Structure 1
Amino acid sequence: MTMRMEHDLLGDKEISNDVYYGVQTARAKENFNITGITLSQFPTFIVSLAKVKKACALANHKLGLLAENKKNAICEACDEIIGGELHEQFIVDMIQGGAGTSINMNANEVIANKALEILGHQKGEYKIVHPNNDVNKSQSTNDAYPTAFRIALYEKIFELIDSMKILRKSFAKKADEFKDVIKMGRTQLQDAVPMTLGQEFHTYVTMIDEDIQRLLEAQQLVREMNLGATAIGTGINSHPDYAHEVELKLQEVTGRPFVTAKDLVEATQDTGAYVQISGVLKRVATKISKICNDLRLLSSGPRTGINEINLPAMQPGSSIMPGKVNPVIPEVVNQVAFQVIGTDVTITLASEGGQLQLNVFEPVIAFNLFNSINMMKNAFETLASKCVDGITANEDRCKELVLHSIGLVTALNPYIGYENSTSVAKEALDTHRSVYDIVLERELLSKEELDDIIKPENMIKPRVR
C-alpha cells in the first residue's frame, strides 16, 4: 500500500493512495465512532451532496470564479458519484460533532481527488484542485450540508409515498373483495352496529390517502434552501450574484423546484421544516400502527378470539406451543411505528437545541429522519406483500357474530322502538339467546320484515323506511 502525506490545521497525516477521501475525513473517522452507520449507507444523501457541489461549480464558473478545466473535472467527478460510483468512500459516521463539517469535507475531498485523477494528476495534489478552495468555493458547511439534506429528504419522501401507494392498493383490493361480507362494527371493543368488512378495509384506504396528502404538503417545506448563505446567512466570501445563480443551477442539476430562502440568516438557523416532517411521519406511523392493531384483533383466535379474518401464516409462532401462529408482520410494523414515534422526540430536542445563527445538531436530525423513512418504507411494503395481500375473510363467522350480537338490536330500533329494543337486548343478554329469535317470538316483526331489515345492504347505509 502506497501512502501520501496530507496536511490540515492539526498537522500532517498519512493517507492511503487507495482512497479518495483525505485528511479531514480520516480524522472524522477516528473521532466519531458513534453509531457504526456511515454516510455510505445513505446513497440518496451522497447523491444530493454531489448535486450541490456540481451546481456550485457551475455557478462559480458562470461568474468567472472557477476555471473551465476545474469546473469540468469537478462536474465529471460529481456525475460519477450521482451515477453510484465511489459511495464506499463516504466513511464518516452519520452522527458527528461540527454541524456536518465532516460530511461536507468527505464530499469535498472525494470530489477533489477524483477530479485530480480525471485531470491526470495524483490524489492529494491539491494545488491543482483543492477540496476547500475549489470544490467548496462560495460555500460553507452551513449552507452546503443543509441544502443536500433537504434535497435528499425531498426525494426520500417520494420513496415513502410510493410504498404507501403499494399498501393502499393492497387494502383497496381487499375492500372490494370483502364488500359483501357483513360483520359487526365495534366501539370501545363492544358490539356496535353492523357494517361490511369491505367498509372496514376501505377506511384504511382513506387513511392512507389522507396521509399521502399530508406528506406532500410537508415536503414543500424543504424546497426552500439556504445555498448562498455561506457561514451564517450573510453570504460572506461569495459573489453578489452567486445565490441567484446557484439557485438556477441547482434547479437544473436536480430537476426539482428548489428555491432560495428570502432571508438566508433565518434559513441557516431554522430547522422547523424537519420538526414538521417528523411530526407527519409520526402521524403516518401512528395510524398504520393502529391499522395493525385492528388486523391483530380481527384475526385473534383462531378458536377463542374474534377470528373474522385470517392473516397469512408466515412462520411457526412458538417454541413451546405446537400449532401456534402469530401475527408477526403486523407486530413488526407496530415496532417500526414505536421507533418512529420515539425518534420524533429526538428530532424535536435537536431542533430546539440550536443556538444563535446555526443549529449544530442537524446530523442527528438527518440520521433519524432518513432512518425513519427507510424503516417505514420497508415496513409498509412488507405489510402489503406478506400480510394484506393474503388476508382472507371468515364469512360464516362474521355473519354468526352479527346474528348473535346484541348490537343487532340497534338496527331494529327504528322499527320496534327504543323500549322494545332495550327489553329485547336485556333478555338476549340474560338468556344468551339471539335478538333475532326473541323478536320473532314476541311477534314484534314478521320473519319477512326481520329478514329484510337485516339484509347486509339495508344495515350498512341510511335507509328510508
Structure 2
Amino acid sequence: MKYRVDTDSLGEVRIPSDAYYGAFTGRAIQQYHVTGKKSHKHLIAAYVMIKRSAAVANIRTRAIDRKRGQAIIKACDIILAGKHHDQFVIEEINSGAGTAFNMNSNEVICNIALEVLGKKKGQYDVLHPNDHVNMSQSSNDTFPTAMHVAILLNLKETLPAVDILIKSLAKKAKEFSGFKKIGRTHLMDALPVTLGSEFAAYATSITKARNAVSAATKELELVALGGTAVGNGANTPKGYRNIAISELAKISGLHLKPEKDMQYSLQSKFAVANASSSIRNLAIELNKIANDIRLMASGPIAGLSEIGIPAVHAGSSIMPGKVNPSLAECLNMICFAIIGNDTAVANAAQGGQFELNVMLPGMLKAVLDSTDMLKNFLPIFSKNLIDGLTANEERLKQNIEKSPVIVTLLAPKIGYQKSAELFKESLKTGKTIRELVVSKNLMTASQVDALFK
C-alpha cells in the first residue's frame, strides 16, 4: 500500500495515499475499535450538511473567501450525492463530544475540496481542515446539532413504520369486532369483551405512544450550531449562526431553529433524553401487545388458543408441525434492547459536567439503534403477523359459556353473595351459570339471555 505523510499538531502520520481522511483520523482509528461498524448514514449526512451550511454562512459573512468556501460546498455536495461514504471511518462511539468524528468529517471534506481546487490531498497550506472546513465551529456545537439532525432524519423513516402497525391493528379490530371472548384481569377470567375491542385498544395505545414520539421532535428541532466551544459563540462572525441554521434547515428538509440559550444546548441533553424516553415508552406498549398475542396464541391444545398465528417458518428443529409466535418474540427482544438503550441515554444525559456533555456519541448510537430496529421490523411484524391473525371462534364461545365469572352480570339482580355461591357451584359441578340460574328458578332463560347480551 502506498502512503502519504500528513502532519498535525502532534507530528507526522502515515496515511494511505488514496484516503481522503488525514492525520487526526489516522490516529483516531487506532484507538476507537468498539462495535466494528462504521457510523450511521444519517450521522454522516447530518455532519456534511452542517459543514456545507457553515461554509455558506462563512461566505456570506465574509469570514472565508468565496473560492475556498465554494470548494468546501462542492465537496459536501459530492458526498451528499453518495460518494466517499467509506472515508468516514470513525465509529459512532468515539472520543468524548465526538471530536474524532468531527475531524474525520473536516479532513475528508478538506481533501475532496483540495481536489476540486486542482490540488493534491494533504496540501493544507491551500485549504485546512481546522482553519477552513471547521471555521466558526467546534465539535461541541456541531456534534449536538448533528445528533438532533440524525435522529430527526431517522424518525422520519420510523414513524411511518409505526403508522403501518397502527393501521394493521385497526383493521384487525374491525375484522374481530363480532367475536366475543372472556376478558382477563390478573390472568384470571373476567367479564366478556370482544376480540375486536382488544385490538382497538392496542391501536389506541400505539397511536398515543407514536404521537408522544412525534411531539418529542419539537425539542430536537432546536439546535446548538453557532455555540462553538462553550455556548457563547466565540470565533463566529456576526450573523453566522442564523444563516448557518437557516441553510441547514433548507438542505435537510427539517424545521430547524436556533436554541435561544446556546449554553443550555451544550450543557443539557434534555431533548435527546426526552426523545429516547418516548421511544422507550413506545417499546413498552409494543412489548405488552407482543406478550398478549403470544398468550392468546398459546396451545393449540394446552394453551389459550384464542387466535391463530401465521406460520412464517417451522417452529421447531425437533418437533414437526410446531408453529411458534416467532415474530412476537422478536419484537419482545427488540423492545428489551430499546429499553436498555434508553437506560444508556439516561445515564449519559446526566453524565455531563459544567459547560459540555461529552457523552454525545454513545447517546446518539443508542437512539439510532432503537429507531433502526423499529423502522426495519415493524412493517414485517404488521404484514407477516398482525395481518394474518385469525380468531378461534369455537374456543372463544366455549370459554364464555364455561366461565363462571359471567355471574357478575347477574349480581345486580340476585345479589353478590348468591352470585358468589353460584360461582363456586359452577366450578365444582361443571354446570354453566345459565344452567344453574334457570334450574334454581332465580331467573328465566330469556332474562339471562337479555343480561348476557
* Structure 2 match to 1:107: 105
Q: Quick check: 1:279–1:344 contact (8 Å CA) kept in 2?
A: yes
> C-alpha deviations, 1:90-149, integer Å up to 9, x for none?
111221223201100111111111112222222222222221111111000101111111
Is 1:437 aligned to 2:426, yes or no? Answer: no
Is 1:26 aligned to 2:21, yes or no? Answer: no
Shift of 1:449: 3.0
Identity of aligned residues (%): 39
> C-alpha deviations, 1:33-60, integer Å up to 9, x for none?
1221221xx1111111111111101100
* Range moving further from structure 2, 431-440 or 286-295: 431-440
Q: Which runs of 5+ in 2 are unaligned?
A: none
Query: Is the partner of 2:182 in helix, strand or coil?
Result: strand
> C-alpha deviations, 1:355-414, integer Å up to 9, x for none?
111111111111111111111222322321221111111011111111111122122333
Is 1:154 aligned to 2:142, yes or no? Answer: no
Correspondent of 1:341 among 335, 339, 342: 339
1:123–1:321 Cα change, 3 Å: same
Aligned partner letter, 2:231: G
Aligned partner letter, 1:187: T
Aligned partner letter, 1:358: L
Structure 2: how far apart are the matches of 1:365 and 1:94? 10
Aligned partner letter, 1:286: I
Structure 1: how far apart are the matches of 2:110 and 2:312? 50
Is 1:318 aligned to 2:330, yes or no? Answer: no
How many positions carry a matched residue from both structures? 453
User: CA RMSD of the aligned region, Å?
Assistant: 1.5
Query: Is the partner of 1:184 in helix, strand or coil?
Result: strand
Structure 2: how far apart are the matches of 1:256 and 1:219? 10
> C-alpha deviations, 1:268-302, integer Å up to 9, x for none?
11112222122112111111001101000001111
* Structure 2 match to 1:413: 411
Structure 2: how far apart are the matches of 1:314 and 1:412? 44
Q: Quick check: 2:216–2:275 contact (8 Å CA) kept in 1?
A: yes
Q: Quick check: 2:14–2:26 contact (8 Å CA) kept in 1?
A: no
* Structure 1 match to 2:94: 96
Is 1:294 aligned to 2:300, yes or no? Answer: no
Shift of 1:350: 1.3
Structure 2: how far apart are the matches of 1:321 and 1:254? 52
Structure 2: how far apart are the matches of 1:358 and 1:231? 8
* Structure 2 match to 1:3: 3
Structure 1: how far apart are the matches of 2:154 and 2:273? 16
Q: Quick check: 1:46–1:81 contact (8 Å CA) kept in 2?
A: no
> C-alpha deviations, 1:430-449, integer Å up to 9, x for none?
11211122122223333333
Structure 2: how far apart are the matches of 1:146 and 1:83? 24
* Structure 2 match to 1:463: none
Aligned partner letter, 2:446: E
Structure 1: how far apart are the matches of 2:76 and 2:422? 76
1:299-378, aligned counterparts within 5 Å? Answer: 299-378=297-376
* Range moving further from structure 2, 293-302 or 312-321: 312-321
Aligned partner letter, 1:36: G
Structure 2: how far apart are the matches of 1:194 and 1:239? 69
Normalising by structure 2, what TM-score?
0.96
1:20-169, aligned counterparts within 5 Å? Answer: 20-39=20-39, 42-169=40-167
* Structure 1 match to 2:238: 240
Query: Is the partner of 2:197 in helix, strand or coil?
Result: helix
Shift of 1:63: 0.4
Shift of 1:3: 2.6
* Range moving further from structure 2, 336-345 or 100-109: 336-345
Q: Quick check: 2:228–2:234 contact (8 Å CA) kept in 1?
A: yes
* Structure 2 match to 1:389: 387
* Structure 1 match to 2:259: 261
* Structure 2 match to 1:458: none
Structure 2: how far apart are the matches of 1:76 and 1:440? 86
Q: Quick check: 2:96–2:360 contact (8 Å CA) kept in 1?
A: no
Query: Is the partner of 1:407 in helix, strand or coil?
Result: helix
Structure 2: how far apart are the matches of 1:403 and 1:416? 19
Structure 2: how far apart are the matches of 1:437 and 1:314? 43
Aligned partner letter, 2:343: V
Q: Quick check: 1:183–1:399 contact (8 Å CA) kept in 2?
A: yes
* Structure 1 match to 2:184: 186
* Range moving further from structure 2, 130-139 or 320-329: 320-329
Q: Quick check: 1:38–1:90 contact (8 Å CA) kept in 2?
A: yes
Structure 2: how far apart are the matches of 1:65 and 1:322? 72
Is 1:199 aligned to 2:197, yes or no? Answer: yes
Aligned partner letter, 1:302: P
> C-alpha deviations, 1:155-193, integer Å up to 9, x for none?
222222111101111111111110100101100001111
Aligned partner letter, 1:65: A
Structure 2: how far apart are the matches of 1:171 and 1:212? 14
Normalising by structure 1, what TM-score?
0.94
Query: Is the partner of 2:181 in helix, strand or coil?
Result: strand
Query: Is the partner of 2:14 in helix, strand or coil?
Result: strand
* Structure 1 match to 2:422: 424
Structure 2: how far apart are the matches of 1:173 and 1:314? 21
Shift of 1:203: 0.6
Structure 1: how far apart are the matches of 2:239 and 2:96? 28
* Range moving further from structure 2, 104-113 or 445-454: 445-454
Structure 1: how far apart are the matches of 2:3 and 2:272? 41
Structure 1: how far apart are the matches of 2:268 and 2:431? 65
Q: Quick check: 1:54–1:253 contact (8 Å CA) kept in 2?
A: no
